[in-house]
Amino acid sequence: MNKVPLKCLFKHYQLLDYVLGKKHSALLRRAELKTLVDLHGNKAGKGGELTHDETTIIIGALDMTLKKANDAMTPISKNIPT
């Protein structure tokens, strides 16, 4: 792990606050986050830092909001043998 002096990090923080403004926030939609994850994946061939498994897990978590609990459940009648 790279160890960067705290003063150096603080100077970068101050610079970003000055350039972007203190109220700046980066909120992304799910589609934008998925694109960002794809860009950082190794499979993109651009030297990404995320492995294929990490990319799959993150995208799966983002897609979870589209699924209903009812889709993942099995009816009790199919679980209990009669």
pLDDT tens for the chain, 82 residues: list them: 456 677 777 777 777 777 777 666 667 788 888 888 888 786 656 566 788 888 888 888 888 887 888 877 888 888 877 6
pTM of the model: 0.50
Residue 11 covered by a domain: no
Residues near 43 by Cβ (< 8 Å), separated by ≥ 6?
A: 52, 55
Residue 14 covered by a domain: no
Residue 54 covered by a domain: yes
Sign of torsion over alpha carbons 39, 35, 25, 21: positive
What pLDDT is recorded for position 1? Answer: 46
Residue 33 covered by a domain: yes
Residue 55 covered by a domain: yes
The whole domain housing 30 covers: 26-66
Residue 38 covered by a domain: yes
Residue 58 covered by a domain: yes
**Calpha distance 52→20 (Å, rounded):** 33
Residue 71 covered by a domain: no
The tally of domains found in the chain comes to: 1
